[in-house]
Amino acid sequence: MGKVSFDEIEATAVETAIVARPETAIAKPLITDPSKGLIGEWTAADIRLPRLNLVNKSGDLCNNFTPGTWVIQKEHQISEVAKDNKEKGNPITVIGANMAKQYQENIPYDERETTPTRVFDTAAEVRAEKGFISRKRGVGNSSEIAHIEFFIQAPEGLSEDAEALFFYTFGDHKYARVIYTASSTSFSAVAVTMASALRGHLATTGLIGGFWHLGSVLTKDTKNSWWSPTLRSAGLVEESVQKEIAALL
């Protein structure tokens, strides 16, 4: 693989490195319900959501999907690059449900096989291991990541197999429930933007009160280019839909 930027490495690395608790960190414990076939001590740690990924210019996904597009479960491409601007990806419409912050050790991509990446729940845990909160690379340096649970509104033109993932109905639309991990500059672009909205237009509703357009843009520096996520507010979610989503969380 040729030389790539820090951001592109992070976009690829988080795919394979997060082995701690990405799907379970944001969910609440389940209540055992034998009437639905759930018997025994089941908790959210036993539940996995489909993963949402942004296809980048390196990594396994770009062998099968178009860079700059969004893919669910490494199988279903659900967006396209804009026809009139090949440096922007058409956005998908999402509703945020939950968001959990952790800290991931910044192990260089080519060293991850011999040096496992550690994930910490708190900054105190990082410091307890004599580490630092830093974007620097190497053992002991950890930076913020966020595991975000989204409900994705079904876009047009889905394949029959992809449509099967969109089995929630809220209002007039179908939705899929997924998990997305944001790291590096993606953490700032997506997670910080959403968290900041809780001091703004989502102050009274929480995350489930807002629609977002989750897109992508080709980012460049003097040597490389890579795809980064973009996030724009897309209005407020109807109160009836908020209640339906809240009942699932």
**What whole-number distance in Å separates Cα of residue 98 and Cα of residue 23?**
11
Angular region, 140: left φ>0, alpha ψ -120 to 50, beta rest: left
CA diameter of the chain: 60
pLDDT digits (tens, 9 = 90+) for 37-65: 888 887 767 778 999 999 999 888 999 99
What's the whole-model pTM score? 0.84
Domain of 182, in residue numbers: 6-27+39-98+148-246
Q: What percent of the chain has pLDDT over 90?
A: 69
- Please report which confidence band the pLDDT of residue 72 belongs to, taking 50, 70 and 90 as the band edges: very high
* Residue 126 counted as domain residue: no
Distance from C-alpha of 140 to C-alpha of 64, rounded to nearest angstrom: 35
Could you tell me if residue 167 is inside a domain?
A: yes
Q: For residue 143, is it within any domain?
A: no
Please report whether residue 120 resides in a domain.
no
Whether residue 209 lies inside any domain: the answer is yes
**pLDDT of 9:** 36
Tell me what the mean pLDDT of segment 122-138 comes to.
93
**Banded model confidence at residue 31, pLDDT cuts 50, 70, 90:** low
Q: Is 17 within the bounds of a domain?
A: yes
Q: What is the 3-state secondary structure (H, E, C) of 35-64?
A: HHCECCCCCHHHCCCCEEEECCCCCCHHHC
pLDDT 10s digits, 85-106: 999 999 999 999 999 999 999 9
Quickly list H helices, 58-153: 123-128
Beta bridge partners of 88: 217
Instruction: Give the per-residue pLDDT at 222.
Output: 86
**What is the pLDDT averaged over residues 102-117?**
87
Average pLDDT, the chain: 87
Q: Count structural domains, the chain.
A: 1
In a domain, 200, yes or no: yes
Q: Give which of 157, 173, 168, 187 is closest to 69, Cα–Cα.
A: 157
Q: What are phi and psi of 107, to 5 degrees?
A: -80, 130
Eight-state DSSP code of residue 110 = G
- Please name which of 98, 99, 79 lies closest in space to residue 89, comparing C-alpha atoms: 79
129 lies in a domain? no
Residue 23 reports pLDDT greater than 70: no
Cβ atoms of 179 and 190 within 8 Å: the answer is no
Q: Which two tokens stand for residue 193?
A: 């933007």
Output the CA torsion 28→134→4→67 (10° steps).
30
CB 64 within 8 A of CB 149: no
